[in-house]
A and B are shown apart, each in its own frame.
Chain A
């Protein structure tokens, strides 16, 4: 991995709410409130947090679906941000977006083939005569048979629709894809297939990804680094294994504690109560203090700065040293499943949706 292919610098998006009064400043909803990160070539950065914390808004600013209120994005040597003219930059086909809802994001009157072929013709990606060959190639790349080109969205399952959405994003040969909750609406079994597919594609095509989810476990297999977001800000950024083995922010730990696992008799670690506070009037000091089980006096008064606590591990909490590790972290797969289940699961690994891709990688 070389230098960053994308840099988000102090991105913010504030929405005016309520009516404007003469002489009075307007109330602002701080959807995203100063977020910075870098993504290297071929790297996957995951953005994790509860509903409403600003993940989608961040992702949409990267692909210029939303203009930031302040801050900017640097992508492949170009810079766009607050005030930059959108039109000229909109052409950027190198960065693409995959939507959460596989049902709503495809035009119901277009076949899968047409949906994938549309960006090809809009951007003149391939000569007209080769268009269908390319569509067939893209379908196969996402693990669908060519014959699916003729199917309409209602004739596809949720997982298949999501694959078509991915093929459509890949049509423009992007170097960067933002996946906004791309697997959240899918069943666990289909989710596993799509996660394996995305991971395979990323390795094969050298893609960089920003992968958005609300469940830390879901991003685990696909991420190189994970950024945890709360109420418009990042609170912890680390290598992918760190939040599991060594969470240093109470919110990260609370997110881990919420994850159900298929184990009999397991006692789930504590999660947080209540809901995310309103981004219109976020709590003073540390924004998490209203729900934090570890808060002390200073937390409500002083906003903790982001601190680099180890190479590549940044955290914003006054008490990061006191966060307890997860009791069940970092075990070998053999200790988690019985040897019997582990052996039987081995058979599924070979038949996985990504099997072909994995073989290709090995050869």
Chain B
């Protein structure tokens, strides 16, 4: 089996690391060469007995740094088949680590605990080889910067078709035809000609389309898109968002869509989860979250987005920065930046509690 299959899926960094994603990519790159660690050595069979209730059931996911600090701190959520979940939060809040933990791609030295049930099996307990087989097949991921996850020495067509050859046992001819068909579906202009081109011959938007095709070629049950539009111009971002919305209905894959921008997830997802300093602080159906946000952090994030439709003079902004993972505030993690904070917030950390049907928030003052 060609080693390049992994290259399509893993963010092997080639060329300069983009500044903003360097941190995340760097450890993903290391992870590509290392077997993922499992919480217990014992592997369970992937096949489940009966049909699982959820496609993905994440319970109390914790990622701890080599220094022993909690980076992802007890995150739980579920995802139904075909459903889309947006994960939102500012840089460094743990979005990428959460998705890398699901993919079994955490960097060496980090430890992970909790449960990640996917199609009836706990991904954290599966043998590394089994997880590797799932990646690119049942589970796929799109990264922020396509250039670091595409292999510059191989044609884009080869990199897409390889997934079919490896996971589906297609012959070259059929793999080529199906890849070109998918490239048309992701609206790559002149798909047939582009099939034989190299990544550097494509624009940023076209590369991101190729990445999407690569992730979708085996019709994964779950697609994780980690800031797939952050490195792009607004116009190209809009094109990619439109494309993802179309494909979502078409392919039936469930999707986790990660962004730092609440505006970007508003269009495409069924539910939204807001992360802050490694914790889930609010989660709910998209409508409820945008119309009745309950956590102060969510409200602040919403205000930070410049609006095209108002005439206000100033942008409401959240003051300050994320606390250090090595030195988290003792009570609510958002307390040092929260304009609603009170004494209790300084002392005790709030748990997620239901504020309306299917909508949870972790704030002592909720509902605000």
Chain A contacts to B: CB under 8 angstroms: 50-51, 101-104, 157-160, 185, 187-193, 195-196, 199, 214-218, 220-221, 241, 244, 254-266, 268, 271-275, 326, 328-333, 336-338, 340-341, 344-355, 358
Contacts and interface: CB of A to CB of B under 8 A. Distances in A.
Contact of A353 (B234, B289, B293, B319): B319
A333 B261 CA distance: 20
Contacts of B315: 192, 195-196, 221, 352
Interface string B247-283: 0000000000000111110110000000000000000
30 contacts: A50-B233, A188-B263, A188-B304, A189-B304, A192-B305, A192-B315, A192-B317, A196-B314, A220-B307, A221-B314, A257-B238, A258-B237, A260-B267, A261-B307, A261-B309, A263-B263, A264-B266, A264-B291, A268-B267, A271-B234, A326-B308, A330-B311, A333-B307, A333-B311, A345-B303, A345-B316, A348-B339, A351-B337, A352-B319, A353-B317
A216 B235 CA distance: 11
Given A218-B306, A268-B238, A350-B339, A159 B287 contact: no
B208 to A, nearest CB: 12
A188 B260 contact: yes
A255 B234 contact: yes
Contact of A275 (B205, B260, B289, B317): B205
B290 interface: yes
Nearest to B16: A104
Contacts of B293: 341
A358 B264 CA distance: 30
Nearest to B306: A217
B239 A273 contact: yes
A196 B261 contact: no
Contacts of B129: none
Contacts of A330: 309, 311
B261 A188 contact: yes
Given A189-B90, A264-B266, A348 B305 contact: no
Contacts of B313: 221
A214 B233 contact: yes
Contact of A196 (B20, B289, B317): B317
A351 B20 contact: no
Contact of A185 (B20, B314, B316): B20
B357 interface: no
**Which of A196, A261, A268, A329 has most chain B Cβ within 10 Å?**
A261
Nearest to A193: B317
B50 interface: no
Given A51-B204, A220-B308, A254-B235, A348 B317 contact: yes
